[in-house]
Amino acid sequence: MLLLMFVVGWYFGLRGNFKPTDAYTGFLSPYLAKKALQEKLARCDLKEVCAFRKNEIIVPDYDEPVILDFAFDPAIQNVADDLLDQYKPDLGLMVAMDASTGRILAMSSRNNSFPQIKGNPVLDITYPSASVFKVITAAAALEKDKDPNSRIPYAGRNHTLYKSQIKERVTGWKRIATLKEAFAKSINTVFGRIGVFSIGKEPMKDFSKRFWFNESIPSEFPVALSKSADPANDFELAEMASGFTQDNTMTALHGAMIGAAIANDGQMMEPYFLNAAYLKSGKPIYRSEPQVLAKVVSPETAFELRTLMHETVTKGTSKKSFRGFFRGPFRELEVGGKTGSLTDKNLNAKVDWFVGFAQANGRKISVSVLTVNKKYWTVKSSYLARRAIETAFSQKKVAMKRSRLNSVN
C-alpha cells in the first residue's frame, strides 16, 4: 500500500510540474501554431502564394507539397476583383474581414501605375492613414468621458491645420462643432485641438498601441508594421491626432482590423487567411481557430464609435457614396465608416481611404478600401466599400431564403 501511494504521488507530482517544450508539443497536437507556420512559409517562394493565386506550395521540412485552404468568401472576393478591374485606379486595395472571428473574407489588389511597389500591396506596404486615424483619437476622447455631443470651438476651414489654429484660446473666425459633427465631416482643427488639450501625447501614443499600431500583426503571412507618430511638440501632436501627417501609416489589412474591432464591441481579432493547411496526402498540419488579439476599447465606447461612424455615411464625407442605401433592401443594416485622404509623398499620389463596418442579424463584417491615384479619380473608396457590403449581405439574404425554401419543401 505504501509503495502504491508513493507511485501515485510521484506520477501526479511529475504531471503537475511538467511543461511541454516546443519540441514536445508536436506529439500533443498535429497542428502547427500560427507563428510556426509563418516561419515555415517565410522560407518558401511566396511571390505567387502572397498574391493568393496558388494554393499548392513546396515547404521545406516536408517531403510532399502543402495545400493551403484559403478562408476567402468567393462572392465577396470576386466582387472585389471585378470592381478593381472595372474602375482601374492607379492602385486599388480591398480587404473584407469577419469581425467576430478574424476570418479574411476577401483581399484584392490591382497595381496599375507604381512599379516601385514590390510584393503584395495589401500586406507589404503601409500608406498614410490620413483621417482614418481620427477613429483612434475619437476612441481616446470617448474613453476620457467626452460626450459625442460635446461642443468644441475652433477657427478656420474644416480641412486645414495651421499652428495658429492650435492655440488654447480660439481667435479669429470662431466656429463650433460637436465631436459627432467633427468626426462625420473630418474637421482637422477640432481633432487637433482634442489631441492637444483633451488627450495629451502619452495617452495618444497609448491608444495607438491599443489599436495595434507599432505592433506586429500575428498572421500566417508576414505583414508590414503600421506606425503612429511620435510627436515632439503640440503641433505635431495635433497633426497626429487629426491624421494630417505622413508619420501615421498603416496597411489595408490593419484598416480592416480596426473597423472589425469597433463592430465587435471593442475586441480586435487575430486575422487569418487560411482555414487549414495539410499535406497533399491528406495529413493536416495547421488549422485556424478564432483568437482575440486585444481589447482596444470598452463595449460602450465601441457603441459610441459606431454611432460616430454611422454619421459619416449618412451626413458626412461618404454621404454621396451611400445615397439611397438606407432606403433600399439594406435599410436594416447598421453601417458606418471613416474616410481619409492625403498625398502620399513616397508615391507622389493621393490616397483615399474608407474603413468601416456593417452588421445585421448577428453577422458583422469590416471593409477596408484604399485607392491611390496620381491625377484622375475613377472611383471613391467609400463606393467600393458600399458594393462589397451589398454583396456580403445580399449573399446572406439569399442563403437565408434558400434555407427557408428547403425547410418548406
What is the domain partition of the chain in residue ranges?
34-408
C-alpha closest to that of 261 among 334, 182, 365, 340: 365
pLDDT at 250 over 70: yes
Say if CB 283 and CB 267 are below 8 A apart.
Answer: no
SS3 13: helix
pLDDT at 118 over 50: yes
Q: What pLDDT, on the 0 to 100 scale, is given for residue 48?
A: 55
pLDDT at 126 over 90: yes
pLDDT cut 90: percent of the chain above it: 75
pLDDT category of residue 46 using cuts at 50, 70 and 90:
low
Q: What pLDDT, on the 0 to 100 scale, is given for residue 29?
A: 59
pLDDT at 69 over 70: yes
pTM for the structure as a whole = 0.88
What is the rounded CA–CA span in Å between residue 252 and residue 274?
18
**DSSP alpha helix (H) spans, 34-96:** 34-41, 74-87
Rounded average pLDDT over 274-280: 94
pLDDT category of residue 395 using cuts at 50, 70 and 90:
low
Q: What are 305-359's pLDDT values in tens digits?
A: 999 999 999 999 999 999 999 988 898 899 999 999 999 999 999 999 999 999 9
Q: What are 355-382's pLDDT values in tens digits?
A: 999 999 999 999 999 999 999 999 999 9
Non-local (6+) Cβ contacts of 227 within 8 A are 126, 213, 214, 247, 248, 249, 250
> Could you write out the DSSP letters of every residue in 272-323?
BSEEEEEETTS-EEEE----EEEE-S-HHHHHHHHHHHHHHHHTSTTTTTTT
Rounded average pLDDT over 187-213: 97
pLDDT category of residue 17 using cuts at 50, 70 and 90:
very low
> Residue 15, class by beta-carbon neighbours within 10 Å (0-12 exposed, 13-18 middle, 19+ buried)?
exposed
Say if CB 152 and CB 178 are below 8 A apart.
Answer: yes
Q: What pLDDT, on the 0 to 100 scale, is given for residue 363?
A: 95
C-alpha closest to that of 218 among 252, 254, 249: 254
In degrees rounded to 5, what are phi and psi of residue 408?
-70, -45
Q: What pLDDT, on the 0 to 100 scale, is given for residue 57?
A: 85
In degrees rounded to 5, what are phi and psi of residue 165?
-85, -15
What is the rounded CA–CA span in Å between residue 301 and residue 10?
52
Q: What pLDDT, on the 0 to 100 scale, is given for residue 59?
A: 86
pLDDT category of residue 9 using cuts at 50, 70 and 90:
very low
Q: What pLDDT, on the 0 to 100 scale, is given for residue 11?
A: 39
pLDDT at 247 over 70: yes
* Cα torsion through 201, 203, 207, 212, rounded to 10: 70
E strands, 82-220, where? 91-98, 104-111, 127-128, 151-155, 174-178
Mean per-residue pLDDT of the chain? 88
Rounded average pLDDT over 118-140: 95
Residue 229 DSSP one-character state: -
pLDDT cut 70: percent of the chain above it: 87
What is the rounded CA–CA span in Å between residue 311 and residue 286?
42
Query: Cell triple for residue 207?
Result: 491608444
Rounded average pLDDT over 7-12: 40
Higher pLDDT, 49 or 260: 260
Task: Give CATH for domain 34-408.
Answer: 3.40.710.10
pLDDT at 399 over 90: no
Residue 103 DSSP one-character state: B
28-32, 184-188, 231-235, 327-331 — which is least confidently predicted? 28-32
